[in-house]
Amino acid sequence: MARSLRGLVTATAAVIISTVLFLHTAPATAAATTSPAVSYTNPLVPQRADPHVMKHTDGYYYFTATVPAYDKIILRRAQTIQGLSSAPETTIWTRKASGVGSGQVWAPELHRIDNKWYVYVALGVSGQWKIRPFVLEGTGDNPLTASWTEKGVIKTNWDTFSLDASTFVSADGTRYLIWAQQEPSRSDENSSIMIAPLANPWTIRGTAVAISRPELAWERIGYKVNEGPFVIQRSGKIFLTYSASATDYNYCMGMLAASASADLMKASSWSKSSVPIFASNSNTSQYGPGHNSFVPSEDGLSDVMVYHDRSYRDITGDPLNDPNRRTRVQKLYWKADGTPDFGIPVPEGKTPVRLRSAADSNPARYVRLRAASTSLAETQFRIVSPGLGGASGSVSLESTSSPGVYLRRAGTKVQFEAGSSASPASFKTEASFTQRAGLSDSQGISLEATGAAGQFLALDKDGNLVLSAAGDVAVQAQATFFLE
C-alpha cells in the first residue's frame, strides 16, 4: 500500500515535471514565413530606364522600358522575372518622321484593360521641348504580336510638358490616370504629380488635380521634378511612389499615401513622406535610383520593386544623354504597421535575404549587422554560395549595407568583420557555415560553423547573435531562421 502510494506520488511528480519541462522546452515558435525570400540577379537589363514589369493572367511577365536612343517602344516577355533578362526584345512602335512622336519616346507602360492592351508613353516632337502622354491600343492575346492602333495624345487641363502616365483601379472600382505635368502657375518647376479618373483608357474625366509638387529641398536638385508615379495598394491604403530631382545621382524616390476610402481627387487626402524613401547609396555603388514599378513575385507571396539606377555617381554632360540607366529588381518589404519598407538599392549580383528567428514571432527578430540598428538594410545579407572557404554546401553571410563585411566565427563567438576572397584562409574558413535544414523547422535553415562542428548560429533570448550547441528544443528554434 505504502509502496504503491509512493509509486503514485512519483508518477504524479513525473507528470508535473514533464509538464513543466514541456512548457519550458517547447515555447510557441514562429510560423514559417508567409512571404519567403526572392532570388534575382542584378542588374536585370542593361541600358533600360523607367522600367515597367507587369504580370498577366497568361502566366507571363511583360517588360517595357525607355531605350537610350529614345526612339522606340520595346517589349519582352518571360515566365519569370529573371527570364526577362535574356528574353528577346520586340519593337512594337518606332519614332515617326514628323509631328507628335518624332522626338523623345519615354517611359512606356503596358496595361491590360477590358481585354485589350494599352501602352502609355510620353512622346516628343523633333526639335522641340514638347512632351505629351500618348496611348496605343493593342488587340490580341500576346502584346508582342498584337496589332496596335494610336489613340492619340491624352488631353489634360493644360497643353503643357507632361509625361509618365500610369493607371490603377481604386478599391471602389474607379480607374484613375496618374502622370507628371507642368502647372502653368508654377512655370519655374518641371512637373507636379496629377490625378484624374478615366472615362476610357485614353480620356480623362473632369478636371485633373495636383497631389504633389516639388516643394521639398530633395525634390529640387538640378531640376524641380516630381515624376514617374506608380501605385501599390495594401491593407486599405494606397501608396503612390514618384521620383524627384534631376536624373543624375540626386534622383530619388518619394511617396504619397492615402486611405483607400478617401476622396483621391482631394490633394488633402494624400500625405507625403518628408524624406526620400529610396536614394543613392555609396556603400552599394547604386546611384540615382527611381522611376519604379511594382510586380508580384512568381509565387505571388512577395512584392518586387522594379527601378533603374546607375552604377557610377558622376556623369559628364546632360544625364539624359548617358545611356547606362539599367533595370534592377529587389524585394519590397512591409513594416508591421502596414507601410512599405524600401531599404536601400542592394548591391550588384544575387539579391539579399533576411534571416528571421523561428523562436520569436511578436515582435519578429532578425539577424542584424548591429543589434541596436532598426534599418531594414542592416537585416539584409547576401547568402554567398559556396562560402568564402570554398567548400561545397557552405555559405557565407555578406552584409547588404556594408558589402565586404562578413559574419565570422571568432573562437566561441561570432562577429561581423571586413573580408574578401583574398583574406587569409583562416578568415575564409571562419566566415563559412554549412547550411542545414532548420533544426526546429525544416522550412527554415540552420547554419553550422565550419571548423566547430555542432556549433550553430543562434539569436539568443536577449537577441544576441551567438554560437550554440542547440541542445534543447528552445535553442534549436533560436538556431533556425526563415529566409524572407
Ligand X SMILES: *[C@@H]1O[C@H](CO)[C@@H](O)[C@H](O)[C@H]1NC(C)=O
* Binding-site string for ligand X from residue 24 to residue 63, where x marks contact by CB under 6 A and - marks none: ----------------------------------------
For position 157 contacting ligand X by CB under 6 A, the verdict is no
56 CB burial (10 A radius; 0-12, 13-18, 19+): middle
Q: Nearest residue to ligand X, using CB?
A: 402
Among 82, 283, 324, 468, binds ligand X (CB under 6 A): 283
CB 478 within 8 A of CB 357: yes
Among 67, 225, 258, 384, binds ligand X (CB under 6 A): 225
Among 39, 402, 434, 443, binds ligand X (CB under 6 A): 402
CB 333 within 8 A of CB 33: no
Only one of the segments 81-89, 91-99, 107-115, 399-407 lies at the binding site for ligand X (rule: CB under 6 A); that segment is: 399-407
Give the containing element (helix H, strand E) for 12: helix 2-25
State the DSSP string of 198-239: EEETTEE-S--EEEE-S-SGGG-SSS-BEEEEEEEEETTEEE
**Look-up: residue for cell 547588404?**
400
Q: Supply the minimum distance, in Å, between the C-beta of residue 113 and ligand X.
A: 27
For position 223 contacting ligand X by CB under 6 A, the verdict is yes
Using CB under 6 A, count the residues that bind ligand X. 10
Please choose, from the candidates 418, 428, 346, 431, the residue with its C-alpha nearest in 3D space to the C-alpha of residue 380. Answer: 346
Nearer CB in complex with ligand X: 187/385: 187
* Binding-site string for ligand X from residue 105 to residue 144, where x marks contact by CB under 6 A and - marks none: ------------------------x---------------
Among 401, 432, 476, 480, binds ligand X (CB under 6 A): 401
316 CB burial (10 A radius; 0-12, 13-18, 19+): exposed
Out of 109, 164, 227, 378, which one is annotated catalytic?
227
Q: Supply the minimum distance, in Å, between the C-beta of residue 49 and ligand X.
A: 12
Classify strands 192-200 and 203-204 as parallel, antiparallel or unpaired: antiparallel
Could you tell me the end-to-end alpha-carbon distance of the chain, in angstroms, rounded to an integer? 60
- Give just the sign of the alpha carbon dihedral 330, 335, 339, 343: negative
For position 190 contacting ligand X by CB under 6 A, the verdict is yes
Q: Which residues bind ligand X (CB under 6 A)?
A: 129, 190, 223, 225, 246-247, 283, 401-402, 405
Hey, which residues are catalytic here? 50, 227
